[in-house]
Structure 1
Amino acid sequence: MDLCQRFESFETRFDGVSYTSGINQISPLNNVIYCPLPIDNITDLETFNDKIAGDSTFQINLTNQLSYIGGKHTKAMIKRIMNKLFADDLLKHYSYSGSKGKAKFGNLAVCSVIFDAVKQQPKFKNVSQCEMEEVIKYVLAQASFNIKRLEK
Structure 2
Amino acid sequence: MVSNYDDYNDVDLGVIDDDEDLNNMEEKLINDKPYRNAVIILLSRFVGNTLPETIRKIMQRLFTDQFLSKYSFVGFKGKHQFSTLQCCSIIYDIVRKMKKFKDTSNIDIEKPIKNWMAQATPRMKKMAEKSLQTNHDDHNSIDNNT
TM-score by length of 2: 0.81
How far the C-alpha of 1:39 sits from its partner, in A, is 1.5
Number of equivalences: 129
How far the C-alpha of 1:43 sits from its partner, in A, is 1.5
Pick from 90, 100, 103: which aligns with 1:113? 90
**Does residue 67 in structure 1 map to residue 39 in structure 2?**
no
Distance 1:28 1:62 in 2: 11
Unaligned runs of 5+ in 1: 1-17, 19-24
Q: Secondary structure at the match of 1:126?
A: coil
Offset from partner CA, 1:57-85 (integer Å, 9 cap, x none): 11111011110111001110110000001
1:1-152 pair list within 5 angstroms: 25-26=4-5, 31-32=10-11, 34-35=12-13, 37-152=14-129
Unaligned runs of 5+ in 2: 130-146
How far the C-alpha of 1:124 sits from its partner, in A, is 0.6
Distance 2:81 2:89 in 1: 13
Distance 1:28 1:103 in 2: 34
On the 8 A contact 2:8/2:39 being kept in 1, the answer is no
Aligned to 1:12: none
How far the C-alpha of 1:104 sits from its partner, in A, is 0.6
Q: Secondary structure at the match of 2:110?
A: helix
Offset from partner CA, 1:89-112 (integer Å, 9 cap, x none): 000000010111100110001111
Q: Secondary structure at the match of 1:26?
A: coil
Distance 1:116 1:103 in 2: 22
On the 8 A contact 1:74/1:124 being kept in 2, the answer is yes
TM-score by length of 1: 0.78
Distance 1:144 1:46 in 2: 22
**Bigger Rg, structure 1 or 2:** 2
Q: CA RMSD in A?
A: 2.2
On the 8 A contact 2:8/2:42 being kept in 1, the answer is no
